[in-house]
Amino acid sequence: MVAGTAAPEVGTFEFAGDAEIMLEGTPLALQVTSALVPGRTLFLTIHILGFTSFAYIVARRLVPLLRAQRDLRFDRPLARLANVLKFWLGQWKHPRYKTAGILHILIFAGFILLAIRAFSVLIVGVSENFVMPSLSGSADHVYQIVTDYAATVVFICMIFAILRRLAFKPVRYTVPARYGKAHTADAIFLLSLIAVLMMADSLFEAARTANQLHLSESNELRAVLSLPWLLQVGFASLSVPTLGRLYFAAYLIHEVTFYFLLCYRPFGIQFHVETSLFTVFFAKLDRGTLKPVKWGVPDEHLEQVKSFGVKTFEDFTWKHMLDFYSCADCGRCSDNCPANSVGRPLSPRFITIKARDYAFQHYRMFGNSGYGKPLIGTIYSEDEIWSCTTCGACEEECPLLVEYIDKIVDLRRGMVDDGNVPQSLQKPLKALESRGNPYGKMEKKRAEWAKVKEFQPTCKVKILDGKNGADTLYFVDSITSYDDRMQAIARATAKILDHGGANFGILGTVEKDSGHEVRRFGEETLFIALRDHNAEAIRASGVERIVTADPHAFNALKHDYRDVPPVEHISQFIARDVRAGRIEFKPIKDGVVYTYHDPCYLGRHNQIYDDPRDVLDAIPGMKRVEMKRCRDRSFCCGGGGLMLFYESKEEMRIGVKRVQMAAEAGADVIVTACPFCMVNIEDAIKVAGLEGKMTAIDLTELVEQQIVFEVPAESEAALQGV
Amino acid sequence: MEILVCARRVPDTSENEIQLNRAGNDIERDDLVYSINEADNYAVEEALQIIARVGGSVTVVTVGTEDDEEILRREMAMGASHGVLLSDDAFYGSDGRGIATILKAFVQRGKYDMILTGVQAEDGGTQVGGMLAAMLDYPFASLVNSIEVHDSKKLKVSREIAGGNKEVSEIDLPCVLSIQTGINEPRYVGMRGIRQVASAPIPTHAASALGIDPATVGETGAKVKRVDYFVPVLGKGAEMLQGSREENIDKLIELVAAKGGLK
């Protein structure tokens, strides 16, 4: 249509047309800028068509968002703005992948710089003397130089990015057969269009400058060695009419490409150019938290909510749909996903891509769209959704702050609501309901770990049942209370608290599971029952603070519970004592090499990376190495809580991969600070055939082993200065 | 298809440490948690899947006390349309025949095309289904692990027989089937589902309403009486294989083969 109306205009174009019009003293015939005049109607038509098409497409893309669930994302605007400055303008996450990151930063910076120039160029087509109000004189001159280079850099980046896609083919871009066809062709097409845009822009500027030099009107040159400069040098011998035609063609190519890209991007991976600013602004602000079942519905009114979780596409919140649009298909999430790396049927990238494809197919550009069919069994499989350990590696990596855990949990809520729960998880959930722990063990045995013969005389553990009071509560949680192996962590924790002079106690038989994984496995109602029970018991105990050695309990108490005293992980407690000089360690003499494994719910979700390391480094003789994947790139052990009951299809255990990383780092001992990590890592050491070569120990166990509990008598005598 | 599932509430073996009482004739029942007998849960799931295919409704019935309402509610949360409690002091202490007598009286008051029971009760035998069928003069198939509805008069059912072979039979309706675990994957029922049916009425029928002569049921009517209950002495502990990994593997294969686990 556009081409049709344009043809006669182009055909009748006579460059040396109206010589009577004068421009700043130079005959119009000699000014290439006037070359655009005959195309005005055409350009204006393209402007109007391009812009209205884009507006229409965006409006259609907004249709599902308007049908979506509520999501309260307008709070704390300053924090959101800070996110925009850091993650959008500052491109904070990008350098985590060096090559792609630097390329993207250059392209992004180029786009930002070229934005004004691109719009000015577009306007010049219909108003040839247009200059951006703030850009005249020397400011304009500087801006021209900067943007000449920007266009050049973006152009080179595009060539490089295309070559990268064709020749180097980074593994994370590949599309496994079960997820459909490769996205390479589309990516290259889009990259090429941007290259064309840059070339057209440069041509346009070069033709104008070459003409000005011709007329000796200006000695202004394009920025040296930039693309427009090279072109302009090449154009030096061209006649004015030829330059005029070039100028006209460059403008037309620029305009058409610009609007084509604008209208094409909402159909693929480059929609993030438009949406990323909003995605980042509305990004989740609080780590470690989960979205409520329905935003704006308090727990007390949940009974009235007809359906829980995400069952159809429209059950997602508008922000989550915006995430789907914004995904740039960079594959960083899946590249870091432990489930994906061991061949579980989950790839976070395709959680997004499949939802986006669904949205595009279901919400078309024309016609009405009905509400969709269930997502589970169509675009997602049950195993896919249960495979996630909620480790948060994907979210940590995403340059656009796309959320995954909340979506996975919402999909699980939907499955739980439909009774669609794997048999292996039904038993522990039922036991949690009736016994308050996933193992179905008797409540009265919850505090038995403290009654062990060798331990009881050395450390008094109070039960806070109303008769005993304390200011610190040690929240033990299920696995550490009941599992024979993990009970050692409970005893070590108690001794450390005792040594640190804490007046502490436990809830004993009254304590129930923190419910951390119950909630993350989508059983919100059961979680609320467990939470309310524990919160009431904690408040009744009158304690002023809570300490736990289980990062999952820590995260639950910190983020999922309300109106309970502040909570601390034992590593924070120990680190404080170490810094205050209240702990004396015996030196380690065995010469073994230690490495610290960051538990996801201590590290990534709660940013506690240094406290455990500081404690380890305070032990004299400690030889510690870091694994390649550590701190915020730590690799999940395989998942805690109910994940221990779930049998996923996988090629190998996640934990085995992790202990292999430790072996690669040259470690003999893996120190962790989470009972679930301990289960997975100890199992993995056996499965990996590293038994006898490698061991695992909890931070509390190591500290208890190395701590000097009493000052020996001789040194006391020495201190008294005999 | 109107389906009746006979269910029973039993101590959950996975969540209790079963111990004998002092008298030695029963287990210690303080501190126990109960749940629906597992096989009965599979029977309810199967009934729900059948009506999802061919239409109809599912009623779950149990003989017991008010405490047993909890399993009826759980099954109603799963999707059963009705829960019915058959409760009377006279029922207390019934043997298998007594339970079958009570159920028979209830079945005859309604019109059911199919009656399902679990293959066995975790705290008892496998007797009720067969006896109920005989009392009703209905055909009976036990250990059923798949059901296909042919038409309104016939079903095709199958069971696994010794050696892992499958036997398929046609059975006329109305009939009684005892359902094997593993026939399906029962859906999950959470607290939320149970709360949603918390106020659903559960009709209760006593002996008189069912026209049952109290002398034929309960302790007085029981002809089988439990006289002892004990935990068998544990046999020799696990055998630990000692040797290199290869030797252990060879030995293990030998042992498993000797016990018929490998062919």
Q: Which residue has the higher pLDDT, A248 or B16?
A: A248
CB contact under 8 A, A419 and B193: yes
Q: Is the pLDDT of residue B91 over 50?
A: yes
A376 touches chain B (CB under 8 A): no
pLDDT at residue B151, rounded to an integer: 84
- Write down the residue that tokens 């989508």 correspond to: A522
Mean pLDDT, chain A, integer: 90
CB contact under 8 A, B191 and A416: no
Q: Is the pLDDT of residue A27 over 60?
A: no
CATH architecture of the domain covering A299-417: Orthogonal Bundle (1.10)
pLDDT at residue A120, rounded to an integer: 84
Residue of B nearest to A430 (CA): B190
CB contact under 8 A, A427 and B187: no
pLDDT in tens, A331-359: 999 999 999 999 999 999 999 999 999 99
Residue of A nearest to B32 (CA): A442
CA dihedral A81, A85, A89, A94 (to 10 degrees): -110
What is d(CA B170, CA B183) in angstroms, rounded to the nearest whole number?
17
Residue of B nearest to A527 (CA): B191
Mean per-residue pLDDT for A154-165?
95
How many Cα atoms are found within 13 Å in the side-chain-facing hemisphere of A175? 17
Q: Which residues contact A221 (CB under 8 A, 6 or more apart)?
A: A209, A213, A229, A232
Residue of A nearest to B75 (CA): A419
pLDDT at residue A220, rounded to an integer: 66
In order of A390, A399, A487, A500, A721, the CA distances from A715 in angstroms are 50, 56, 34, 21, 10
pLDDT at residue A9, rounded to an integer: 38
3-state secondary structure A616-628: HHCCCCCEEECCC
A304 touches chain B (CB under 8 A): no
Peptide bond into A338 cis (omega under 30): no
Q: Is the pLDDT of residue A235 over 90?
A: no
pLDDT in tens, B95-129: 999 999 999 999 999 999 999 999 998 877 889 99
Closest CA to A671 of A663, A661, A681, A656: A681
B33 closest CB neighbour out of A435, A526, A529:
A435
Residue of A nearest to B245 (CA): A689
User: Got the DSSP string for chain B?
Assistant: -EEEEE--EEE-TTS----B-TTSSSB--TT--EEE-HHHHHHHHHHHHHHHHH--EEEEEEES-GGGHHHHHHHHHHT-SEEEEE--GGGTT--HHHHHHHHHHHHHHS--SEEEEES--TTS-S-HHHHHHHHHT--EEEEEEEEEE-SSSEEEEEEEEGGGEEEEEEEESSEEEEEPTTSS-PPP--HHHHHHTTTS---EE-HHHHT--GGGSHHHH-S-------PPPP-S-PPPP-S-HHHHHHHHHHHHHHTTS--
Least confidently predicted of A520-534, A544-558, B17-31, B70-84: B17-31
Cα A434–chain centre separation: 37
3-state secondary structure of A702: helix
CATH number of A437-579: 3.40.50
pLDDT at residue A132, rounded to an integer: 64
Where residue A642 falls (left for φ over 0; alpha for ψ -120 to 50; beta otherwise) is alpha
Q: Is the pLDDT of residue A2 over 50?
A: no
pLDDT at residue A30, rounded to an integer: 59
Q: Answer whether A422's CB lies under 8 Å from A386's CB.
A: yes
- Cβ of B80: how many Cβ atoms within 10 Å? 24
pLDDT at residue A15, rounded to an integer: 42
Mean per-residue pLDDT for A509-519?
97
pLDDT in tens, A638-694: 999 999 999 889 999 999 999 999 999 999 999 999 999 999 999 999 999 999 999
Q: Answer whether A556's CB lies under 8 Å from A518's CB.
A: no
pLDDT at residue A368, rounded to an integer: 86
Shortest distance, CA A582 to any CA of chain B (angstroms): 44
Residue of A nearest to B18 (CA): A442
B234 touches chain A (CB under 8 A): no
Where residue A170 falls (left for φ over 0; alpha for ψ -120 to 50; beta otherwise) is beta
B190 closest CB neighbour out of A427, A444, A523:
A523
pLDDT in tens, A397-437: 999 999 999 999 999 999 999 999 999 999 999 999 999 99
| pLDDT range class, residue A131, cuts 50, 70, 90 | low
- 62-81 of B, contacting A, C-beta below 8 A: 78
Mean per-residue pLDDT for A374-395?
96
pLDDT at residue A135, rounded to an integer: 62
Q: Is the pLDDT of residue A11 over 60?
A: no
- 397-426 of A, contacting B, C-beta below 8 A: 416-421, 423, 425-426
B198 touches chain A (CB under 8 A): no
Q: Is the pLDDT of residue A189 over 90?
A: yes
- Cβ of B219: how many Cβ atoms within 10 Å? 13
A720 touches chain B (CB under 8 A): no
Q: Is the pLDDT of residue A244 over 60?
A: yes
Q: Is the pLDDT of residue A218 over 80?
A: no
Q: Answer whether A636's CB lies under 8 Å from A601's CB.
A: no
Find which of B9, B14, B15, B42 to mutate to test the A interface (most A CBs within 10 Å of its CB): B15
Q: The dihedral of CA A333, A336, A341, A346: what is its sign?
A: negative
A494 touches chain B (CB under 8 A): no
A692 touches chain B (CB under 8 A): no
B122 touches chain A (CB under 8 A): no
CB contact under 8 A, A526 and B191: yes
Q: Do domains A437-579 and A593-706 have the same CATH topology?
A: yes
CB pairs under 8 A between A and B: 58
Question: Which domains are present in chain B?
Answer: 2-221 (3.40.50.620)
Q: Is the pLDDT of residue A384 over 80?
A: yes
pLDDT at residue A20, rounded to an integer: 39
CB contact under 8 A, B195 and A442: no
| pLDDT range class, residue A134, cuts 50, 70, 90 | low
Which residues of chain A have a CB within 8 Å of the CB of B14?
427, 431, 440
In order of A710, A714, A717, B247, the CA distances from A720 in angstroms are 16, 10, 5, 63
Q: Is the pLDDT of residue A552 over 50?
A: yes
pLDDT in tens, B147-173: 999 888 999 999 998 888 999 999 999
CB contact under 8 A, A416 and B186: no
CB contact under 8 A, B31 and A442: yes
Q: Which residues contact A352 (CB under 8 A, 6 or more apart)?
A: A323, A324, A327, A333, A402
Q: Is the pLDDT of residue B262 over 90?
A: no
Shortest distance, CA A179 to any CA of chain B (angstroms): 28
Where exactly are the structural domains of chain A? 2-67+95-267, 299-417, 437-579, 593-706
pLDDT at residue A16, rounded to an integer: 42
CATH topology classification for A593-706: Rossmann fold (3.40.50)
What is d(CA A541, CA A467) in angstroms, rounded to the nearest whole number?
10
What is d(CA B249, CA A420) in angstroms, rounded to the nearest whole number?
39
Shortest distance, CA A415 to any CA of chain B (angstroms): 9
Alpha helix positions (H), A96-137: 98-124
| pLDDT range class, residue B244, cuts 50, 70, 90 | confident
| pLDDT range class, residue A712, cuts 50, 70, 90 | very low
A301 touches chain B (CB under 8 A): no
